[in-house]
């Protein structure tokens, strides 16, 4: 899952971003509305965590810009104004959820995951292919009933491959979806992570690699 955190308080933005990354999400950060609008034009996001009071482009205006898109991310409006009237006005602008500061971080994580599930293009809760099952909410993965002990990035790569299955995902697409904008496009981190994931999945192999094309989940021998 890729998330954009738009927050002008830099310390808070970094705390939120690092916390979401620890939950296996790829997170980009913008500190004003103009930078956020530019990132939204460049990258696909499932969820935007949006501070309401932003410099450059106000959060209310940015929210309306986001909700006017044909394929848009879900918006969690994050603000110090937490009265019922503020919540109603925020939702009226098109926000999908509203969380007042200060907030408990576990609640923020749950709301972000819930919004991702509500996206029109979201897949079923449990992803299944080639004997592999993954529950992105419970954060569990199994192969033929055997529990897999995966790192945060291994889990995210497996989730991305299962969501794309039976189609291929290129290394560039995996880098874009699982890592963030600071990832080095020339790094071999995708190949290394896929290699570790393949070993943990065990045999016979279910991750197919086609040079110049990418990776996909497939039944053994297919």
Q: Is the pLDDT of residue 38 over 90?
A: yes
pLDDT of residue 6: 97
What does DSSP say about strands 214-217 and 97-100: parallel, antiparallel, or unpaired? Answer: unpaired
Q: At CB < 8 A and 24+ separation, what contacts does 198-203 make?
A: 200/148, 200/149, 200/150, 200/154, 201/132, 201/143, 201/148, 202/143, 202/146
Does the model's pTM come out above 0.85? no
Q: Locate CATH 1.10.10.10 in the chain.
A: 127-217
Residue 45 tokens read as: 């996001």
pLDDT of residue 80: 76
pLDDT of residue 119: 79
Q: Is the pLDDT of residue 163 over 70?
A: yes
Q: Which CATH class is domain 127-217?
A: mainly alpha
As a CATH number, domain 2-118 is 3.40.50.2300
Given the structure tokens 């016979």, which residue do they identify? 204
Q: Which of 30-34, 113-117, 144-148 has the lowest mean pLDDT?
A: 113-117
Distance CA 164, CA 11 (A): 35
pLDDT of residue 149: 96
pLDDT of residue 1: 84
Q: Locate CATH 3.40.50.2300 in the chain.
A: 2-118
Taking Cα atoms as reference points, which of 55, 46, 4 lies closest to residue 29?
4
Distance CA 222, CA 215 (A): 13
Given the structure tokens 């033929």, which residue do they identify? 144
CA atoms within 13 A on the CB side of 168: 11
Distance linking the first and last C-alpha atoms of the chain = 28
Contact 62, 6 (CB under 8 A): yes
pLDDT of residue 79: 80
Say which residue, 86 or 100, is predicted with more confidence. 100
Percent of the chain predicted with pLDDT > 90 = 57
Please state the rounded mean pLDDT for residues 68-95: 76
pLDDT of residue 118: 83
Say which residue, 216 or 221, is predicted with more confidence. 216
């Amino acid at each position: 899952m890729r998330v954009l955190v738009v927050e002008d308080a830099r310390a808070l933005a970094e705390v939120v971003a690092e916390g979401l990354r620890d939950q296996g999400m790829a997170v980009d950060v913008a500190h004003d509305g103009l930078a956020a609008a530019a990132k939204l034009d460049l990258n696909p996001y499932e969820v935007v965590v949006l501070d309401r009071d932003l410099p450059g482009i106000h959060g209310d205006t940015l929210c309306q810009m986001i909700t006017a898109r044909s394929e848009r991310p879900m918006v969690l409006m994050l603000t110090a104004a937490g009265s019922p009237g503020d919540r109603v006005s925020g939702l009226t602008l098109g926000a999908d959820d509203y969380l007042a500061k200060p907030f408990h971080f576990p609640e923020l994580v749950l709301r972000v995951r819930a919004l991702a599930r509500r996206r029109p293009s979201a897949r079923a809760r449990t992803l299944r292919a080639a004997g592999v099952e993954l529950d992105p909410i419970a954060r569990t993965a199994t192969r033929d009933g055997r529990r897999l002990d995966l790192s945060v990035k291994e889990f995210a790569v497996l989730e991305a491959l299962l969501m794309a299955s039976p189609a291929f995902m290129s290394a560039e697409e995996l880098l874009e979806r699982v890592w963030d904008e600071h990832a080095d496009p020339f790094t071999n981190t995708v190949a290394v992570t896929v290699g570790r994931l393949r070993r943990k999945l065990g045999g016979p192999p279910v991750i197919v690699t086609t040079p110049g094309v990418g990776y996909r989940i497939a039944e053994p021998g297919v």
